[in-house]
Structures are given as C-alpha cells and as structure tokens.
Structure 1
Amino acid sequence: MNDLKQQTLAIVAPYFPPHGGGLEKYAFEIATRLQKQHHWHVVVITTSERYGHDEKIEMSGLTVYRLGYYFKLSNTPFSVSWVTKIQKILKEENPNVINIHMPVPGIGDITAMLAGKRPVIVTYHAGSMMKSDKSNLCLINILIALYENGPLGMLLRRANHIICSSNSVRLNFLSKYSAKTSTITPAVDVSIFSPMPEKRAKRPTILFVAGLGIAEQHKGLITLIEAVKALQSEMPNVHLVIVGDGDMRNEYEHKVKELDLQKNVSFTGRLTGADLSEQYQRAHVFALPSINESFGMTIIEAMASGLPVVASNIGDIPSLVTDSQTGFLIPPGNVGLLKEKLLELLQNPELERTFGIAGYHKVVQGFNWNDRGAEYSKILLEYEKR
C-alpha cells in the first residue's frame, strides 16, 4: 500500500500529555510517528482541565483540541456540551479515520456516535474497569457494569477494528471480538530511557512509578510499602522512591507515617521526560506488584534504563519480565515474597547487573515506537481505503 498521500486521522483520548499515564504516552507516541513518518495529518480531541476553557493548540506538530468539562466521576470527565463541540470539530477537520482510545467513558463514546460512515478504530488499553479492591466502591462498580454492558458494547460493535495494547486484553476481556482485533503493544523511547550506571544512588533504591489516584489502586503500592517495612530490619537504609500523584497520595503518605518509614520512603510527585528518566537511572530495582495489569509500560521504561524488575505474574507482564533472567515474577499481594526478591537483588549487585543488561537488550530489540507506528499506519490505511 502507498501511504504517501496524506489523510486526516482524528485521535480521541480522554487525556493527553502533559497529563501522565500509559494511555496518554501510547496515544502521543503513535500520533507523532503517524504524523512525521507516515504522512497522516493528526488531529487530537481530548479534555482540558475541570472548569477549564476549550483551546486549540499545536503540540509536537499535532493539532490538539482540548475541551473543558464540569463533571467528573472517579477518573471519568464528562460534559454534555461536547456533543456540539465535537460535531463542529469533525465537520471542520473532516477526518478520514477516527481512532478512539478507551476504556475511560465519555468523549470516545460521543465521538463514535457522531462519526457517521467514517471508519472507527478503537484502541483498548485495559481489561474490565471493575474495581477488585476492598475500597467500598460499590456504587462505582454498579455504574461501571452498566457502562460495560451497555454503551461500551455498542461502541465495540460499531468499531471497524480494535487494536489491543496487550494480548491479555485481546484474549480475555475482548475475546468475543477476536475476528476484528489485533495487538500492538506499547514501546519505549530509548533516546530518553537508557542506562546510566554512574548516576546510581548510593542507598539501595527501589523505584515505583504510577498514578496515585483511585483508578490506580490496582498498582499495589500498599503491598510495596509493607514489603519495604519488612525489608527495613535487614536493610535499614533501603529507600523507596514513589513517582506519581493523585487523589490518594495523602493516604499513602499516612501509611508511610503509620509504619514509621518517613526516612525510607520519598514521594516525588508526577515526573516526565528527563526528570523521570533520572529516577530510573538512580534506582537499583523497579517494582510493580499490581493486582491487575494488562501490560505495564513503566516496566519497559525500567528495563530500557537497565533495571531488574520485580512484578506480579499477571496479564502480559510475563511476556515482558522473564522470571530469573530479567527480574522476578511473584503472585500479587504476597508481601513476604516481594520483600524476599527485592532483598535478593539489592544484596547481590552482580545479579542486579546481569538481570538489568538482559532486560535492556530485550526491550531495545523488541519494543520500538517506530515499528509500532508502521503497524498502526498499515491498519488505518486498510480501513481508510474501504
């Protein structure tokens, strides 16, 4: 196929950089490569801040429409005014294809409703949004169930094709749509994330990177904090660095204080770019003890930075972390085993180095954003020409 003729693609995402998160990074990296390397004119439709103004900006060569909103439930922003605003954007930009990033409800559902006969490609980044923790979120779970069995099903049936960010999502949550799904996993920018051994911290340092909101409770931070408490008696100077922010940060800080870990745990807030990369380069081990995870983009960022990984044996994580070769896989929620594997790596610099090198080579060889952009463009062109 010849993709030299420029076509217009509308990418619709609930959030977009500078907002942080795996979906946002994925959408941005794909968008910039489609624009620069595959001759697509990319228009992004996303949200701005709550009570914020609408704006149209240029960002890394992309045309980005940010729409304000007044209502937000959990991680889901919404505004009835989006209907007329998105309708106007679609009329002005006249995209050949619409790519909707899910599963956060709202802006994607409205766009699909207004798409007309245009091809709609859905990119799905997670499994069910149902909360499996014990956080008394019964009402939210009821609303999620109503959405997943109603509007979401309508959107997925409407989609011409569904791109899944992991095989775990494609083969489990979206198995009924297997005839029109494919997998394009995230990748990593090795020009940003790379090893720098000379920056390694003097203290034995564990790194955790994730949002600290209600929607990210499944990342297992409480389990990790409790494991660090168990580590403290054998390694008093152990240091856990937590990168991220969100509406549960105060609760995590309270947990740290409750366990008397103030000297062992640091919160940096949300970081991006060189600041985030430096935290990976300073750490000795990366930990992600999730109870639910479809892929884990931060894992490949850590591996690209030369870090061994200790993570849960769930979702697509085993396709990233080879147990006892690039890190350790453990059952989710197992504080004792998490502590044991972290200690094993922190006490054995040669093992840490060997795992880190193996992980680096695995990521560099198999997780390149340029390759992902080419796969993406091929799918878009296939449906644009129908």
Structure 2
Amino acid sequence: MIQLLYLGNRLSKHGFNATTIETLGPQLEQEGYVIHYASDQKSFVLRLLDMLRAVFVYRNHVSYILIDTYSTTAFWYAFFSSQLARLFSVPYLPILHGGNLPQRLQRNPFLCQLLFAHAYQNVAPSGYLKHAFETAGYSNVVLIPNTIEITRYPFKARISFAPKLLWVRAFAGIYNPKMAIDVLAQLKEKYPEAALTMVGPDKDGSLKTTQDYANSLGVSVCFTGQLSKSEWGQLSEDHAIFINTTHFDNTPVSVMEAMALGLPVISTKVGGIPYLLTDTENALLVPDGAVSAMVQAVVQLIENPNQATEMATNARRFVEQLDWEVVKEKWVELMGRSEE
C-alpha cells in the first residue's frame, strides 16, 4: 500500500475555493493510496510550519510527497518543503499550478533550480507549463492534465442564448474581476436586460473593489459569494455564457467545469488558456483586458446560436477526455499502483 504526503492549501473550511489538494487527494484515495495532508492552517507562517512538520513526521512512511506549487507567495511553501524533503531523501513531485510560473523561472533561476531540478518529476497540468519548463532546461516534466469527474456535470444543451453571463473564480487582482463589470456595462448598451452573476470568495480585497466599481458604473451584479461545485452547477442552468477575464492562468478547473455543463466559454487568451481552449472551435478567445472584444464575442454567440451550440458541444467532447477515469492511469504510471 503506497502512502503519500500531500502538501497544499486546504482552506475551503475557511471560506476559500477548494484547490487541487481537496479534489485530487480524495480521487487518489479512491484508488487505494493512503494520503496524509498538510495544511488547513489559515496563517501563512502556521501553514508553512505545519507543512514542514508533516515532512519531518512522515519522512520514513511515505513513498512520495506531492506539493501543489504556485508562482506567487505560495511558491515558498513548495520551496522550503522540497528542500526539507531533499534533506531526508524523500522523492517529491511539484504539481505546477501558477500561470505565472514561467516568469518565476526567469526571475529566480537559482531557487527554481533547487526546487524543480531535484524533483522526482514535475507534474504539469497543461502543455503550456510543460513547454515552459522544458524551454527553461528542465527534462523531468510529465504532463498530467487537471481532471474532473464528468458524471458530476450534467450537460445542458442550449438552443438560444440570452445575455446572461456567469463568472466563477476567486476575487483576486490576477483574475481581473473588474473586467466582467466593464463587459456587462457595455453589453447593456445593446441588451438592457443583460445580467451578470459572479461566484467566488474574496482573496485579496478584490470583492469589495469589484462591488464598488459596479456601483460606480450604476450596474447591478449578483454576487453570490462562495458556492459549492454542485450549487454553482445548478446556478449555471439559468445562465447562457461563461466569461473568464483573467490576466494569468494555467488550466482553470472552473472553465473546464463550465465546458462540461454546456456553457459556451469566452476567455482572455493568456498563459495556458490557448492550450486548453481552441478559438472558434470550443471557445472564443480575446486579448487580455480587451473589454470591447469580449462584448463582441458575447453578441456573436447571442446572434449566432448555432455556432454557440456547436462550440458548447465540442467543448463537452473535449473535457470528456479529461475525466478522472482516463487521467488516473497517468498517476498510476508515475507512482505505481496501490492496492485497496
């Protein structure tokens, strides 16, 4: 029986969106792996200390340490935990998440070399990050895409498309939530009945900033706060188009979920997005921050429902390839097959 230590941000109980540790971990447990977790501490310092404590406690019991690895502040969790794992000769696998990780490779080449060059394997969930790491000289990179359990996402076939927009993400500056407000304001010039629902918890104060911005423009927006996947999945049935306004991204699970649910997606063309979405085939892509282009894309789908329907159908077919039953074999190949 293979035991693993999984390090990441288990913060959903504190009102944050569930991250990969809270989805991939249970999926691996279903395959027979025994997993120890860290950390659900809200404080940055306490979380880091809890992760380091877990590496020390389980150093002789686990075959691998999985480390959710991001590009900004949370980068330091991965860095210090990995160096402690190296000290105890425990193989570790950074799971690469931050859409801005390529910039981290450029800014901190020495620190990144210490972290990524000594990893058992670096797990890239997108071709974008795999390419970026290989270009930077790392050969120990394996592509294992983000995954969803497709049976949990009932596909709704839409034949007409009203100007009802859905945005699902944590409220943070890098995800550019104010752009969604600008899109709604412009869209209302053509469709006064246009509506926008924004789902997600606050991460850096951007929720209030976005609410204030909507008030300053005089547009009404439904802010739901954090919802469970099933709750926002039900909410999606009353919406027609999913918009993704981010400045940086890798392979956002919320976009994959929207595709699975049958919502046509319009997204900024940043980071790993072009590796996930193909313009005009399974989504519409616009430049970063291009409000007018996103508005035009919304109008295009409303006025061309056949195109929107075909695009949504193609998107569903695409994400079916990312179902856990398919992707799990890549994890088994990487770490070995555990037994119940």
Fold conserved between structures, TM > 0.5: yes
CA distance in 1, matches of 2:295, 2:67: 40
Distance 1:332 1:185 in 2: 24
For residues 353 and 347 of structure 1, what CA distance do their matches in structure 2 show? Answer: 12
Question: What's the offset of the Cα at 1:376?
Answer: 1.2
Amino acid at match of 1:155: L
User: Is it true that 1:195 corresponds to 2:163 in the alignment?
Assistant: no
Matched, 1:376 2:331: yes
- Which one of the candidate residues 271, 275, 295 is aligned to 2:227? 271
More strand by share: 1
Letter in 2 for 1:249: L
Change in 2 beyond 3 A, CA 1:8/1:251: same
Change (3 A) 1:305 1:79: closer
Counterpart of 1:218 (choices 165, 174, 197) is 174
Aligned counterpart for 1:12 among listed residues 7, 17, 41: 7
- The one of 265, 276, 287 equivalent to 1:320 is 276
Name the counterpart of 1:100: 67
> What CA distance in whole angstroms lies between the structure 1 residues aligned with 2:206 and 2:226?
13
* Per-residue deviation, residues 68-93 of structure 1 (Å, max 9, x unmatched): x5x4xxxxx7555764x3255325x7
Q: Counterpart of 2:189? A: 233
Kept in 2: contact 1:16–1:27 (CA 8 A): no
One of 210, 217, 225 as aligned partner of 1:259: 217
Q: Does 1:175 align with 2:125?
A: no
User: Given residue 170 of structure 2, which amino acid in structure 1 is its aligned partner?
Assistant: G
1:197 CA displacement = 5.4
- Cα distance change on mapping 1:163 and 1:188 into 2, 3 Å: same
Q: Could you list the per-position Cα deviations for residues 301-327 of structure 1 after superposition, in whole angstroms to 9, with x for gaps in the alignment?
A: 111000111112233322332322322
Displacement of 1:224: 2.2
Aligned counterparts of 1:274 and 1:312: Cα–Cα separation in 2: 25
- How far residue 130 of structure 1 moved from its aligned partner, in angstroms, is 9.4
Distance 2:160 2:215 in 1: 23
Quick check: 2:161–2:301 contact (8 Å CA) kept in 1?
A: no
Cα distance, 1:186 vs. partner? 0.8
Q: Please give the TM-score of this superposition, normalised by the length of structure 1.
A: 0.77
Distance 2:51 2:64 in 1: 19
Shift of 1:189: 2.0
Q: Deviations over 1:313-367 (max 9, x none)?
A: 2333223323223221111111111111112213443333232222112222x11
1:125 pairs with 2:97: yes
Q: Which runs of 5+ in 1 are unaligned?
A: 1-5, 51-68, 72-76, 132-143
Cα separation, partners in 2 of 1:261 and 1:78, compared to 1, 3 Å? same
The share of aligned pairs that are identical, in percent, is 16
Answer yes or no: is 1:342 the counterpart of 2:312. Answer: no
- 1:109 aligned onto 2:79: yes
Coordinate RMSD, CA, aligned = 2.9
Do the aligned residues in 2 keep the contact of 1:207 with 1:285 (CA within 8 Å)? yes
CA–CA separation in structure 2 for the residues paired with 1:313 and 1:49 = 32
How far apart in 2 are the matches of 1:268 and 1:211? 12
Q: Tell me, yes or no, if structure 1 residue 249 matches structure 2 residue 243.
A: no
1:89 aligns with one of 43, 51, 57: 57
Once the two structures are superposed, residues 190-238 of structure 1 have per-residue CA deviations (whole angstroms, 9 ceiling, x without a partner) of 222222459x99963111111103xxx2223222211211111110010
Using the TM superposition, give the Cα deviation of residue 377 of structure 1 relative to its aligned residue in structure 2, in angstroms: 2.1
CA drift at 1:272? 1.2
**Which residue is 2:20 aligned to?**
26
Give the Cα–Cα distance (whole angstroms) in 2 for the partners of residues 36 and 80 of structure 1. 28
1:209 aligns with 2:168: yes
* Alpha-carbon distance in 2 for matches of 1:218, 1:152: 22
Q: Distance in 1 between matches of 2:50 and 2:10?
A: 17
C-alpha distance in 2 between matches for 1:177 and 1:325: 32
What residue is the counterpart of 1:157 in the other structure?
A: 117
Q: Which moved more, 1:321-330 or 1:189-198?
A: 189-198
CA 1:127–1:340 in structure 2 vs 1: closer, same or farther (change >3 Å)? closer
SS at match of 1:282: coil
Which SS does the other structure have where 2:78 is aligned? helix
Q: Name the residue aligned to 1:65.
A: none
Conservation of the 8 A alpha-carbon contact between 2:157 and 2:309: no
Match of 2:243 among 287, 302, 311: 287
Say if 1:224 and 1:338, in contact at 8 Å, map to a contact too: no
Segments of structure 2 that go 5 or more residues without pairing to the other structure are none
Q: Provide, for residues 89-121 of structure 1, a one-character-per-residue CA deviation record: whole Å limited to 9, x for no partner.
A: 325x71111111102234333432332112111
Q: Distance in 1 between matches of 2:51 and 2:36?
A: 16
Verify the 8 A CA contact 1:14 1:108 in the aligned structure 2: no
Corresponding letter in the other structure for 1:31:
G
Distance 1:177 1:120, change over 3 A: farther
What amino acid does structure 1 have at the position aligned with 2:91?
P
Secondary structure (helix, strand or coil) at the match of 1:49 reads coil
